[in-house]
Structure formats: structure tokens, C-alpha cells
Amino acid sequence: MWKFTAVPQHTPQIEMRCWTIGGGPNERGIRRGVQMTMQSAAPRSKRILMVGAPGAGKGTQADAIAKQFGITHIASGDLLRKHIADGTTIGKSVEDIVNKGELVPDAMIMDMLRKPVLAASETGGYVLDGFPRTVDQAEAAYRTAGSLGVGVQIAVHLEVPEEELMRRMLARARGADDTEDVVRHRIKVYEEKTRPLLEYYASRELLIQVNGARPVSEVTWSIVVQLQRAFKRPNTHAATAPAARQATAPDRAVA
């Protein structure tokens, strides 16, 4: 049995495997095969994103997923708060927007995330938390990341009722954007601008639906089981998903 791998300089990579089983070329029982697959720039990387309202548990679950799969957790909100705390130019221009619970302009977010997303894609993959927030951001990411083969493979949606979101956020009181009025506004922004992403991902990638209103470890278990199942499917690692797929009935039954 032998294996040959041809990797051209540009992406997407083409991997060719040839094998021979059963002896020399003239012997009986010979079986040969050639398999050619299109692969992304980061063939084995796992690229996941979390969608959910403020307080749905995106950050909590993204941490657990990152540990489970050995990938990088990238949180747009954490990066913005670090810029604000460090008093950078970005920080100064977004502080007021974040404190009011409004969305930061797309171009600024895209610039901030480009490097960490590319770096994470080369080192196992990423779980993105807080991005994209709008269909415009998702489309921009799809154009750039998709063409580099580092686009998202699976979106995980955490559904949590509003009263539980409010309870969690007011109990946490992280900063100026965790006051009752601002949290209510953030939830409204989510419903208007971010919820439409669910339809967007359902029609383009695999969308995993999870009931997030359960204890943290139960939610994690549900997500991990569904992700493991999804990553076993042949198309999950394709550079471009050939057809839109949504979580199957058994997937939803786990959630």
C-alpha cells in the first residue's frame, strides 16, 4: 500500500491518495483506488461559531468547546473590552457604543478579528463567540474567510427565554452594559439584528440548535455530542459546503 500526496502552492489544496492492495499489478485480486479531495487551507481545523442572545451562555460554552476540541476561543466582546481597558484608539472609539449596547461598526470588527481567526485556523481551529452579529457581517466573513478556506463549518444556537437572560445578566453585572435598561436594549438588538442569522446559517451551514436554559454541564454535553457527530460527517471539512444542511432530527433530539 502506498500513498502520494500532491500539494500545489495555492489554495484550495488538492490531496491525491493512491493505493494498491493484493500484490503486484498483474496478480489476481488486485484492488486499486484513487481518491482526490478538495481541502481547505486548514484541512483538519474545526471552525465553530456561537449564536445566542446576551447571557445565553456563548462565552461559557465556547470556553468548554475550545478545551474539548483543543481549539481557540475568540470572543469579539472580550477583545473590544480589552481595547477599552487598554485605552487604544479602537477602545476609545467603541467605548460609548458598547456601553449603550449598540453594535460596533462592521469594518472595525472585521479588522479586529481577521488576524486571530486566520491564526487559529492554522492551529486547530476556532470557536467564535459574538461574531457575526448581523447578516451583513456573516456575508462579509463568508466572502473573505470562505475564499481562504477558513470559513465557519458549524453554527451553534443557544436558545434561552428572556426572563432567564435578564436574571443571569443582572446577577453578573459585568459593567456599564449589564444594567437593566441596557440589557433589555441588547436583547432587542439581538432579536432585530442577530436572530435573522439563524435562517442564514440554516440555509448555508449546519445549524445545531441547543436548549441553553439548563445547567452549564448539561448544555456543554449536548453541544459536544452534536459537534462530534457533525464532525464525523464527510462534508463538514469541505472547503465549501456543497449543500445547505440543518441539524437532523436525531441532532435536535439530543438538544
Q: What are the residues binding ligand AP5 (CB under 6 A)?
A: 52, 54-60, 76-77, 80, 97-98, 101-104, 109, 129-133, 137, 168, 172, 177, 186, 215-216, 219
Would you say 17 or 100 has its CB closer to ligand AP5? 100
- Residue 14 or 135: the one with the smaller Cβ distance to ligand AP5 is 135
Closest CA to 56 of 251, 207, 219, 200: 219
Enter the C-alpha cell of residue 222. Answer: 449536548
Cβ burial, residue 186 (10 Å; 0-12/13-18/19+): buried
Q: Report the residue number, 65 or 150, with the smaller CB distance to ligand AP5.
A: 65
Answer whether 119's CB lies under 8 Å from 126's CB.
no
Q: Which is nearer to ligand AP5, 104 or 207 (CB)?
A: 104
Least distance to ligand AP5 from the beta carbon of 140, Å? 11
At 149, list the grid cell.
Answer: 478556506
Q: Please, which residue, 12 or 55, has the CB nearer to ligand AP5?
A: 55
DSSP codes, 112-136: HHHHHHHHHHHTTEEEEES---SHH
Question: Residue 81 Cβ, how far from ligand AP5 at the closest point, in Å?
Answer: 7
**C-alpha 193, offset from chain centre:** 18
**Least CB distance to ligand AP5 at residue 130 (A):** 3
Task: Report in angstroms how near the CB of residue 215 gets to ligand AP5 at its nearest.
Answer: 6
- Whether a cis peptide bond, with omega within 30° of 0, leads into 132 is yes
* d(C-alpha 224, C-alpha 212), whole Å: 13
Three cell numbers written together for 176: 456599564
Q: Determine the residue with CB nearest ligand AP5.
A: 77
- HSE-CB for 60 with a 13 A CA cutoff: 19
Q: How far is the CB of 21 from ligand AP5 (least distance, A)?
A: 50
Strand partners, 209: 157
Residue 53 or 239: which CB sits closer to ligand AP5?
53
CB-wise, 42 or 62, nearer to ligand AP5?
62
Residue 112 Cβ, how far from ligand AP5 at the closest point, in Å? 9
Among 177, 184, 236, 234, which Cα is nearest to 205's? Answer: 236
R_g over Cα of the chain = 21
With CA atoms as reference, report the closest residue to 80 among 36, 52, 50, 112. 112
Q: How far is the CB of 183 from ligand AP5 (least distance, A)?
A: 8
